[in-house]
Amino acid sequence: MKKAFITGINGQDGSYLTEYLLDLGYEVHGIVRRNSTAENQSARLDKAFKSGRLHTHYGDLLDQGSIERLLEEIQPDEIYNIAAQSHVRVSFDVPQFTVQTNALGVLNILEAYRRTCPKAKFYQASSSEMFGLTVEDDGFQRETSIMNPVSPYGCSKVFGYNIVRHYRRAHKLHAVNGILFNHESPRRGSTFVTNKVVKAACSIKLGLQDKLELGNMDSYRDWGHSKDYVKAMHMILNHDTPDDFVVSTMETHSVREMCEVVFKYLDLDYKDYVVQNPKFLRPEELPYLKGDSTKIRKTLGWEPTYTFEEMMHEMCDHWLDVLQGKPSHR
């Protein structure tokens, strides 16, 4: 039985990846921080725990000793480093913590991996935010695009990406990067703009809220579904040759368009409820992201299965259930 080790296991991607690997017959180990209390975290793993093949351990990426001890003990076949301070807007408020977690944390787990289980395969969750203001002439960002980040989060992710590539070359490790564009789901934290919009719209529909305040509504993102993207993680990691791949839908939508899709699904007009508030603007805005995932589609055969509208509708159904006290198993 293959063993996987996942950091960030109780987040959106970590929980979906856990379920996916368990369905494939894996034994899964994950680290949790003792102070991890974000919404829905325990519920995200409830289904997975029933398998009897999920094991969680206390640890922290900033404590290399704890990671090294766990890897030495578990001897995983696959390591997925998904843990991060992943909120771009928050990274402007806590830049030091963001860099410590997203840059030094990657170095810590790479060193632990190199020392304890170098035969394992290592996946690093890299981000489209690394590209920043770079847009190719055809409107895309791809593996060869110059990285020009515009946030502490993006800068920290560039270090993580490059240190993985360095360890792959210098130490002959099977270490890879998945450069994932924005990906969402009902399990996304409600401070992220997709779930913030959906939760507020559903609350307005149910008479629990009267307006929604947003920052830049004309920023464009390439939004996919987390379920599709965790499958891509597994495919990238298990490719015969360690390499780096962009994962994206190759479509882009604005926040304004998202509001239109969500409110229309609820038979509402977003213009009646959405107002812009400057306090939600970033000190430096990233206006446009659209990923070219041709490489992973041609090399590994990966394709997204959710459309943008299907994903947003699923998130609406989830929040309508939750806000009315009904169980949601999405």
- Give the model confidence (pLDDT) of 98-140 as tens digits: 999 999 999 999 999 999 999 999 999 999 999 999 999 999 9
d(CA 154, CA 156): 5
Question: Confidence class of residue 43 from pLDDT cuts 50, 70 and 90?
Answer: low
Residue 44: both structure tokens together: 């995200």
- Check the CA dihedral 116-118-122-124 and report its sign: positive
Residue 39 confidence (pLDDT) = 47
d(CA 46, CA 26): 17
pLDDT at 236 over 90: yes
State the residue range of the domain holding 243. 3-184+222-247
17 with 118, same domain: the answer is: yes
40-49, 99-108, 273-282: range with lowest mean pLDDT:
40-49
- CATH code (residue 128): 3.40.50.720
Residue 47 confidence (pLDDT) = 72
Residue 58 located in a structural domain? yes
148 with 213, same domain: the answer is: no
198 with 135, same domain: the answer is: no
Residue 20 located in a structural domain? yes
30 with 171, same domain: the answer is: yes
187 neighbors 225 (Cβ within 8 angstroms): no
Strand order across the beta sheet in which 174-180 lies: 54-58, 27-32, 3-7, 78-81, 121-127, 174-180, 245-247
Residue 52 confidence (pLDDT) = 82
Residue 116 located in a structural domain? yes
Active-site positions read 127, 129, 153
102 with 28, same domain: the answer is: yes
Tally of domains in the chain: 2
Residue 280 located in a structural domain? yes
Residue 295 located in a structural domain? no
Question: Confidence class of residue 36 from pLDDT cuts 50, 70 and 90?
Answer: very low
27 with 145, same domain: the answer is: yes
Residue 329 located in a structural domain? no
Tokens 């789901």, residue?
185
201 with 125, same domain: the answer is: no
Please report how many Cα atoms fall inside a 13 Å half-sphere around the Cα of residue 10, on the Cβ side.
21
204 with 142, same domain: the answer is: no
131 with 21, same domain: the answer is: yes
11 with 98, same domain: the answer is: yes
Residue 299 located in a structural domain? no
In the chain, the DSSP E strands lie at: 3-7, 27-32, 54-58, 78-81, 121-127, 174-180, 183-184, 212-214, 220-221, 224-225, 245-247, 253-254, 274-276
d(CA 58, CA 66): 8
Tokens 């989060």, residue?
153
179 with 51, same domain: the answer is: yes
Residue 287 confidence (pLDDT) = 92
Residue 292 located in a structural domain? no
Residue 38 confidence (pLDDT) = 46
293 neighbors 250 (Cβ within 8 angstroms): yes
**More confident call, 24 vs 327:** 24
- CATH code (residue 210): 3.90.25.10
Average pLDDT, integer, range 236-248: 98
Which of 223, 221, 233, 225 lies closest to 302 in space, CA to CA?
233
**More confident call, 136 vs 329:** 136
Which of 145, 148, 144, 107 lies closest to 130 in space, CA to CA?
148
Cross-strand partners of 178 = 125, 245
7 with 108, same domain: the answer is: yes
What does pTM read for this prediction? Answer: 0.94
d(CA 119, CA 114): 9
Chain mean pLDDT for the chain: 94
d(CA 207, CA 185): 24
